[in-house]
Structure 1
Amino acid sequence: MDIETKTDRRILKTKKAITEAFLELFSDKEIEQITINEIAERANVNRGTVYLHYTDKYDLLNQCINEHLNKMFIYCKDNGMNPENSNMFHMLEIIFTYFQKNYMFFSSMLSSKTTIEFRERMLQFIVSNINEKINAQKTKHEMDTELLTQFLASAFVGTVEWWIVNKMPHSPQYMAENLGRLFEKQGYLP
């Protein structure tokens, strides 16, 4: 059992080094310009090790996106974000804090021209959470729920994108309070 645990830690450490190397390169270059050799060299592993864990650089990108979206979901749930929680400011602060803690990843994803898929998947994550919140309220909205959800999610993702691309000019708390007020002022979420 001890050997298995050590192996798992080494694998995790190796994958983390590969991921960090990839994200560093991705923050400077488009994915088409990045080679597996560059990733391996920067991660201080051999090329075969990269291929042991990932099919190619696109698989690596896809796994990075999946991992971060899953981590974001878990982080939000672990920090009290749930559909029954009606404190929108707290929920927004949780999300902005997560973005701040993972700035390098989100900055790389949102500033690259080839990461439309990431933006779409993040949008779907937010749509799902807004739908849960709207459904948990059990109140009838005057607007079409799907239209309301798409509007709120698009506004949120666009604001997050602006915040990250501009190197987070405000704190997560500031962003949560102001974005929450905007939504509240417009009567979109109580």
Structure 2
Amino acid sequence: MDKQAKVDRRILRTRDAITKAFLELVSEKDLDHITINEIADRANVNRGTLYLHYTDKYDLLDQCIKDHLDKMMDACALPGINPIDDLTPMFSYFEAHFAFFHTMLSNRKTSMFRERLLQSIAAGTKDKIGPLAAKQNMNLELVAHFLASAFVGTAEWWILNRMPLSAELAARQVGELFEKYVM
């Protein structure tokens, strides 16, 4: 059992090193110009090790995005907290992982990230606003996409402008805007 825990830690360290190297490279240059050799060299692993974990750089990108979106949604699904009423956990997650989100949103070749972020937020929003949309005789898909688009656009502005407001203030003001103009 102890040996298994050591293996798991090594795998995690290797994946972390690969991910960190990859994100550094994505922030420096276009995704199309990044090679597996560059990622492996920067992560201080060999190509074979990288291929044990990922099929190619696009799989690596996909896994980075999936991992962050899953963790973000988990962080925002805290018991007793309604993300529509309190956006602080989401903005705090963005703040804690600023380098990742800034890199993904500022690199046009990773536009699929923005789309997946939008889909994740819209799906989470639909779960929360279903009764409200029905009560107001509004199409759930339309309302969820509208709210998600407004939120993602605002979060993108906040991140790309290097968080000019604290996470708490940004969350509170976006929540107030939703409350005032939408809900």
User: TM-score range, shorter-chain basis?
Assistant: over 0.9
Q: Distance in 1 between matches of 2:96 and 2:21?
A: 18
3-state SS of the aligned residue for 1:143? coil
Q: Distance in 1 between matches of 2:11 and 2:89?
A: 30
| Within-5 A mapping of 1:7-18 | 7-18=7-18
| Within-5 A mapping of 1:37-186 | 37-78=37-78, 80-81=80-81, 85=82, 88=85, 90=86, 92-137=87-132, 140-186=135-181
3-state SS of the aligned residue for 1:114? helix
Q: Which runs of 5+ in 2 are unaligned?
A: none
In structure 2, relative to structure 1, the CA distance for the partners of 1:138 and 1:115 (3 Å cut) is: closer
TM-score of the pair, normalised by structure 1: 0.90
In structure 2, relative to structure 1, the CA distance for the partners of 1:58 and 1:87 (3 Å cut) is: closer
Residues 109, 115 of structure 1: 8 Å contact kept: yes
Residues 79, 94 of structure 1: 8 Å contact kept: no
Residues 84, 128 of structure 2: 8 Å contact kept: no
Deviation (angstroms), 1:34: 0.8
Q: Which runs of 5+ in 1 are unaligned?
A: none
For the aligned residues, what is the CA RMSD? 1.7
Runs of 4+ with deviation above 6 angstroms = none
Residues 106, 164 of structure 1: 8 Å contact kept: yes
Deviation (angstroms), 1:144: 2.9
TM-score of the pair, normalised by structure 2: 0.93
Amino acid at match of 1:33: H
Deviation (angstroms), 1:99: 0.4
Range with greater deviation from structure 2 (136-145 or 72-81): 136-145
3-state SS of the aligned residue for 1:45? coil
| Map of 1:35 onto structure 2 | 35
Equivalent residue pairs, number: 183
Amino acid at match of 1:177: R
